[in-house]
Amino acid sequence: MNETPKYHSEGSFEKLLRSGKFAVTCELSPPDSADPQRVFDEAEMLADSCHALNATDGSGAHCHMSSVAVCALLTRDGLSPIMQVSCRDRNRIAIQGDVLGAAAMGVHNILCLTGDDVSVGDQPEAKRVFDLDSIQLLQTIRVMRDSGKFLSGRVLTEPPKLFLGAASNPFVPPYEFRALRLAKKIEAGAEFFQSQYCFDVPRLRQFMAQIRDLGLHELAYYLVGVGPLRSDKAAEYLRTKVPGVHIPDEIIDRLRKTPRDRQQEEGRQICLEIIEEVKVIEGVSGIHIMAYKQEELVPSIVADAGLVT
């Protein structure tokens, strides 16, 4: 893996990955509230089980407390946040301002996303922006960081010190394109990746083999998305209503054959089995846990998977 760039000091999450340790990140669901205590309470539940907390940015095109605000609260509490930036809602002027503001508040990590379309959310009449896409966003922040300039060419008096990430989804076709897409994001500036939910480990193995063949595992860190399924109905909703999520029929069938009152525990067990398979795949640097409305399960999942942080 490449040595630490000389343009910035490392945050704790970057330092952990560069040390070769297996990383655990967790998704924190921003509240539908102006009460900061809601953020602190969820962060307290997750903090001892992961190395960094993702603050989502209007995921699924639903409005919640902003990612930059959640990250500001987390840094105030001494935690390591990963700020997500979606291109759907803001133009390049607003995004560059948010990046500077986040860095000023101690945010070291940014995950660059194009963003889900407004049509999948609860306000489909909202106007789309998409001034940039995720690759252009990576390039924009890299220019700010490495060249000390805005996209306009105007010089920054103090560049942001940031570790740049991007999303990856090897579980939907065209499969042959996914590794090449990853390469383009690395070229644009991505240093770590977090994947969509993994419920298809054989497909992940094929993807990681492609990554290794291209030497991309030496250029960026790859964290695999995992999460517990609450029930067969929740799993069916996830794979039919959430863009980019692939859940094989055998996973749904396994949950359906489980008594209703034991399905949540079975979903937790499936998650643990996937982690066990994923963590030994060459090129995988960690896992990213998404346990929407089941955050209380995260500490036991991490502990039972032998990933105590």
Give 289-308 pLDDT, tens digit per residue.
999 889 999 999 999 999 96
CB distance 263 to 231 below 8 Å: yes
SS3 239: helix
Per-residue model confidence as pLDDT tens digits over 150-176? 999 999 999 999 999 999 999 999 999
- Cis bond upstream, residue 248 (ω within 30): no
Q: Are 282 and 205 in contact (CB under 8 A)?
A: no
Give the count of alpha carbons within 13 A of 163, CB side only: 23
Please enumerate in sequence order all residues whose Cβ is within 8 A of that of 149, keeping only pairs 6 or more positions apart, or say none: 143, 155, 156
C-alpha 79/C-alpha 73 separation (Å) is 9
Please say whether the beta carbons of 269 and 227 come within 8 A.
no
Q: Is 109 helix (H, G, I), strand (E, B) or coil?
A: strand
Q: What is the pLDDT of residue 84?
A: 97
In terms of CATH architecture, what is 12-304? Alpha-Beta Barrel (3.20)
Task: Report the SS3 class of residue 290.
Answer: coil
- Residues in contact with 305: Cβ distance below 8 Å, sequence separation at least 6, in sequence order: 272, 275, 276, 279
Pairing of strands 163-168, 109-113: parallel
DSSP sequence for 43-96 = HHHHHTT-SEEEE-SSGGG---S-HHHHHHHHHHTT--EEEEEESSS--HHHHH
* Rounded-to-integer distance, Cα 43 and Cα 36, Å: 11
Q: What is the pLDDT of residue 8?
A: 42
Give CA–CA dist 103/109, Å, rounded. Answer: 9
Cβ atoms within 10 Å, residue 244: 12
**Whole-structure pTM value:** 0.94
Per-residue confidence in pLDDT tens, the chain, 309 aa: 555 444 344 689 999 999 999 999 999 989 899 999 999 999 999 999 999 999 999 888 888 999 999 999 999 989 999 999 999 999 999 999 999 999 999 999 999 999 988 888 889 999 999 999 999 999 999 999 999 999 999 999 999 999 999 999 999 999 999 999 999 999 999 999 999 999 999 999 999 999 999 999 999 999 999 999 999 999 999 999 888 899 999 999 999 999 999 999 999 999 999 999 999 999 999 999 999 889 999 999 999 999 965
Residue 66's SS3 state is coil
User: Coil, helix or strand for 166?
Assistant: strand
Q: Shortest CA distance to 166 belongs to which of 189, 147, 150?
A: 189
